Structure 1
Amino acid sequence: MTAPDWWQEVGLPPAAGRVLQHLVTHPESTAAAIADELGLTASTVERMLRALVEELLVVRVGRRPTRWSASPPRSAMDALLQRRRAQLANVELQAERLQEEYAAHLDRRFASDQFEVLDTPQRVTARYEHLLRSAQREILHLVMPPSVATSAHPERMAAQADAAARGVRFRAVYDASTFDEELSLRTARDGLAFGGEVRLSRELPMKLVLFDDAAAIMAITPADPAAGSLVVYSPPLLRVLKALFDELWEHAAPWSTEPTASQPPPDRLAIDPRSARVLQFMALGMKDDAIARVLGVSRRTVQQIVSDVGTRLGARTRFQIALQAQAAGWLGEE
């Protein structure tokens, strides 16, 4: 953030910061001189001076012609910050009053500020986007079918990209069956594109989104997205949900869109990377079509890889292939 932009944090436009900085080093300047020096219009400088006078940051020191100087910065800024703190304290008080009215009039199933029921897709989307923009450290997803969305949300993806740009970490565990849906696969790829991390698992226990340690959204009935969602604010329950995510993340299979080369293994105990990926996804219960979409290859290629691996192992069925591939160490530790 540049020096002029810093002034936005205290409610002043960047141009006001430029004018004040100029007056700090050029006391008793006229508005015309400020405009010439900074390349601003006369009307803009006049507006900025009025704003700075209201905040007691500059003073008039002459009238013929009118000249301006900066107030002592330390004391002037201390006074400004005190006023902003008082304003924020009043906002906090009003927020508490609004929360009390909200709790009193909203028809919720839980008479507590530790939970909130969102009974329409519009409310779920609005709360998700609010929590997304408020997140500071990390956002964690457990994704399983059926998908709530029927089409892509470019606004949501843009908001996720903005959050990633400000340092928020995204991690997601997708149920392998989710990639039977083209939209879910596209969403996962979009997440990887802005720096998110994706892993695959099978038979996830729930749909879940965790925002820092502040809130979580979980589907009330995972199989029925229309049944609504529950927002959790309870710190003990959030810690339990975070521990659940960490456990699932630890045992999930990493996934990326990086291409995997198919090279002949040197011996029977080795396997090329692409064949290993196919076996891992097959062990997760993914269908051939979904594996092909994930790897960016044809369904026939997937079937040929499975057939070739079966021939090498002397296995006839997929179950036998999975067992012998696990014994050979081709599926990892799990």
Structure 2
Amino acid sequence: MLESVGLDESTERVYRVVLTRSPVSLPELGELLPDLTPAAARKAVETLLQAQLVEQLAGRPVRYGAVDPRLGLAALIRSRRDDLDRTASALEVYAAEFHERMLRTDMHRLIEVIEGPAAITARLSELMAGAEREVLAFDAPPYVTVDGTASESELDLLRRGIGVRALYASEVLEIPDRAERLRALVGLGEQARVAPRVPLKMVLIDGRDAVIPLTASAEGTRTTAALVRRSRLCDALGELFEAHWAQAVPVFSRTVAAGDAHPDLSPAERALLHLLNAGLKDEAIVRQLSVSERTLRRRITDLTARLGATSRFQAGAQAVRRGWL
């Protein structure tokens, strides 16, 4: 049980005897643990003294007593934790040096080509299972990953408290099952935004590993992807994401910060203008706002008139120019 703090089995057995029979001498330890040699018992006691888990008591013969485990073991655990923190810091340094050397000497090891939907799904699941901080994604049709596995990986990220930010092409909301899945993910904590288009499909894990398709959308279903490991390219992909994220519109989020509200707009009107500005079609907006098509058309007509716009798309642009969004 105490191997994780550096105590072997024999030392732990001696420690438990001292805890329950304190005070105890070395000869008494030999009687209580007959299979332990005197030398082994003495070594175990020295280890426990050094770890400050037991103390030598005054008087003769020499006896040993246990220190309160909440003090002794807690100090040992803190020491081990500090050691692990230092090791983790060293790991980051060594990993950076390793990847820098790979970049200079073996470019092929920085990029892994993944063939086929099942392999792409499995590799993505493996990478997301190892995520520690945040996963960023550009998302757009067509889809090739195995839906059940991909969804479970995303759910696992959110359950573990990993930050997930995804930027979707507006056409995703026109696919009913995808739109409903997106709504569910947002309900579980994903931050989602939408834009008329995204520059590429991508998943970026902790800023260090990126999975991107190798074929253009015009070529049909993607069956090949590239895993790009830590490099300046991953840094550039992260910056590309942040630039597009800043211009995109939140989806399936009804909350509006006090500083973002406009006195001439209700929250529902503001949400509608965001979606119009993102270029969504009526079917997608109806699902997003949970309103009827008739109500949607009435609201669009009212907003375009108030903005002096001649079309729904112009209404979104006018709202931005007026500072309504």
Fold similarity call, TM over 0.5: yes
How far the C-alpha of 1:307 sits from its partner, in A, is 1.4
What pairs with 1:155-304 in structure 2 (closer than 5 Å)? 155-164=152-161, 168-223=162-217, 224-258=220-254, 270-304=264-298
SS in 2 for 1:200: strand
Aligned pair in 2 of structure 1 residues 127, 277: CA closer, same or farther (>3 Å)? same
TM-score, scaled to structure 2: 0.65
How far the C-alpha of 1:314 sits from its partner, in A, is 4.5
Aligned pair in 2 of structure 1 residues 306, 152: CA closer, same or farther (>3 Å)? farther
- Whole-angstrom distance in 1 between the partners of 2:265 and 2:234: 41
SS in 2 for 1:26: helix
TM-score, scaled to structure 1: 0.64
SS in 2 for 1:271: coil
Q: Is the contact made by 1:28 and 1:61 (CA closer than 8 Å) also made in structure 2?
A: no
What pairs with 1:109-188 in structure 2 (closer than 5 Å)? 112-149=108-145, 151-153=147-149, 154-164=151-161, 168-188=162-182
How far the C-alpha of 1:202 sits from its partner, in A, is 2.1
Q: Is the contact made by 1:28 and 1:67 (CA closer than 8 Å) also made in structure 2?
A: no
* Count of aligned positions: 259
- Whole-angstrom distance in 2 between the partners of 1:281 and 1:114: 39
Percentage of pairs with the same residue: 25
Q: Is the contact made by 1:139 and 1:169 (CA closer than 8 Å) also made in structure 2?
A: yes
Q: Is the contact made by 2:276 and 2:315 (CA closer than 8 Å) also made in structure 1?
A: no
- Whole-angstrom distance in 1 between the partners of 2:16 and 2:266: 65
Q: Cα RMSD over matched residues? A: 4.1
SS in 2 for 1:321: helix
The aligned amino acid for 2:224 is: G
SS in 2 for 1:226: coil
- Whole-angstrom distance in 1 between the partners of 2:13 and 2:32: 20
The aligned amino acid for 2:207 is: D
Aligned pair in 2 of structure 1 residues 258, 232: CA closer, same or farther (>3 Å)? same
Specify every segment of 5 or more residues in structure 1 that has no aligned partner in the other structure, as ranges. 30-59, 86-109
The aligned amino acid for 1:191 is: L
SS in 1 for 2:240: helix
Indicate the structure (1 or 2) with the bigger Cα radius of gyration: 2
Aligned pair in 2 of structure 1 residues 151, 128: CA closer, same or farther (>3 Å)? closer
- Whole-angstrom distance in 2 between the partners of 1:129 and 1:9: 33
The aligned amino acid for 1:195 is: G
